[in-house]
Chain A
Amino acid sequence: MVVEGQNVDAARNVSAAHGVALSDERLRVLRAVLARRPAQLQMLRSFVVDDSVEPTHGCR
């Protein structure tokens, strides 16, 4: 995830790649939402998962 407007051009490019055109105004609106995610994302990213663990989509 591109974090809180540190790189607005990169953020704009990410959204454009999905066909969602985000103006600078929209990116400013999203800044607060994106700003609260790094802590959770960091927790997820830094959690070490064994190589044998595969993704689970449901409950099985």
Chain B
Amino acid sequence: MAAADLLFKPASDLAGLLKARKLSPVELTRALLDRIESVNPAVNAFLTVTRERALAEARVAEQEIVRGKYRGPLHGIPYAPKDLLATRGVRTTNGSRLTADWIPDYESAVTARLNQAGAIMAGKLNLLEFAIGSGQRGLQGPARNPWDHSYSPSGSSSGSGAAIAAGMVPLTVGTDSGGSIRGPAKSCGVVGLKPTYERVSRQGVTSLSWTLDHVGPMARTVADCAAMLQVMTVGGPDYSKALTGKVKGLRMGVPAEYFFDKVHPETETALRRAIELLKGLGVVLVDVKFKNAALCSAASSVILSAESATYHLERLRKSPELFDPLVRERLEAGTFHSAIDYIKALRVRTVLMEEARRIFQTCDVLMLPAGNAAPKLEEETVETDVPRDPPAAPRPDVFNMANVTGIPAIVLPCGFTAGPPVLPLGIQFCARHFDEATLFRIGHAYQMATDWHRRTP
């Protein structure tokens, strides 16, 4: 099989070829490593490429499969984690000069499970510094959007989105404390899942905000995300059973206000088209109102700011100059929060979670925008270390609700801008706590009825 034919295939297709021995893990891994070597100078999705290690693991996988020891749907499939996940013996930078040379002597729980399932780590992915930095800077410069290199892939899991869209690897791992998986998924035209809080272990993942951090899969298809989550977790349901393509009778709540307030007309058109398509598949629309939606952003802002400043306090005391100026500024600002504000935010979180529970008594899934198309990289530039006015715009608040309430949320492509440039647009679904299966059910049905996820830059 020609190498070019492998680059944009979903992992599920590749798994079928590997299991049937029509494709060798070595052939696949070599094709993807060559692709990384070819396009990474422009896309900058990878901070570290573990070529020799990956080829060695591919040879082991090849021997195992030939001997009939097939481990499952990730066996022999290359993947890459955001460089916020500790990897034993492999540099883990967190995208920061402060940890640029850190080589952990332990493995994160997630990468350990993926490795155990036979997935092959191809390297470590670019990100915004400590998952809070600027889109313009970074340890080795910013990752770029494969659809147009002058545009941002969004962050903070910037490399995780860009690597899939550029055909470098079919599977990646990201983290999401306020949209950091879902934003890049939207901007790069791939699928990103933020699971329920604590559904996936955070062990071995550098913290940004302990109570908002989530680790999740990113891939070309919903089915691939389901296969990844199956491996990344312990004791979950069989997610493959949700991939039926049937959604008749599923109740989908669409909030009439707030979340759609800042949606670009082009995005809104794509979302309305998706709603009509889902209605045609049998989904039942339900009007819902999240009356305290605006508080999600306020509460998560205080929580993230206070927790991240606490986590990095020693580094702020000892080596503030080693942080990117924007990261330093955000963390220093976090030291000004009072305990009373922080605890109030945690109590408001209780109220917001109760409101989410009430909403999910009337619907099975909530549909939200995933923000507008990717911004130009230069628009993300923030001049720091100088007094400035007006301040930088706050993050889009279509994402914070799922972080502050802990409910699962998935983003998948639902169209493109008319262009130029032609850039992906995304749709977001949320569900009850620990009901990722419903997200897979509706997302897979949507992808079976559309071809947005099959388009490539």
A residues bordering B, Cβ < 8 Å?
1-2, 11, 14-15, 18-20, 22, 26, 28-37, 40-41, 43-45, 47, 49, 53-59
Contact = CB atoms under 8 A, between A and B. Distances in A.
Given A33-B391, A59-B196, A59-B433, A40 B347 contact: no
B337 A1 contact: yes
A49 B301 CA distance: 18
B53 interface: no
A5 to B, nearest CB: 10
11 contacts: A1-B341, A20-B335, A32-B391, A34-B333, A44-B344, A49-B348, A49-B351, A55-B346, A56-B347, A56-B353, A58-B198
A41 B385 contact: no
Contacts of A58: 197-198, 211, 406
Max chain B C-beta neighbours (<10 A), residue from A15, A22, A34, A55: A55
A17 to B, nearest CB: 9
A32 B317 contact: no
B288 interface: no
Interface string B281-309: 00000000000101101110110000000
Contacts of A11: 336
B335 A15 contact: yes
Contacts of B196: 59
B391 A36 contact: yes
Nearest to A16: B335
A22 B390 CA distance: 22
Interface string B342-355: 01111111110100
Given A43-B298, A45-B344, A59-B353, 4 more contacts: A29-B329, A32-B387, A45-B341, A59-B197
A14 B336 contact: yes
Given A33-B329, A33-B391, A49-B344, A56 B349 contact: yes
Interface residues of B, number: 49
**Main DSSP-derived SS at the B contact region:** helix
Nearest to A31: B387
Contacts of A59: 196-198, 353, 405-407, 433
A27 to B, nearest CB: 9
A19 B295 CA distance: 31
B391 A44 contact: no
Interface of B: 196-198, 210-211, 292, 294-295, 297-299, 301-302, 313, 316-317, 320, 329-330, 332-333, 335-338, 341, 343-351, 353, 384-391, 394, 405-407, 433
Closest 9 CB pairs of A and B: A59-B406, A55-B346, A59-B197, A40-B298, A32-B391, A33-B333, A36-B391, A56-B350, A44-B298
Contacts of B298: 40-41, 43-44
Contact of B336 (A15, A44, A54): A15
A53 B353 CA distance: 11
A32 B348 contact: no
Contact of A40 (B292, B297, B384, B389): B297
Given A41-B341, A47-B295, A53-B351, A35 B391 contact: yes
Nearest to B394: A36
Nearest to B211: A57
Given A37-B301, A44-B344, A53-B347, A20 B332 contact: yes
Contacts of B338: 1
Contacts of A57: 210-211, 346
Contact of A2 (B336, B347, B351, B405): B336
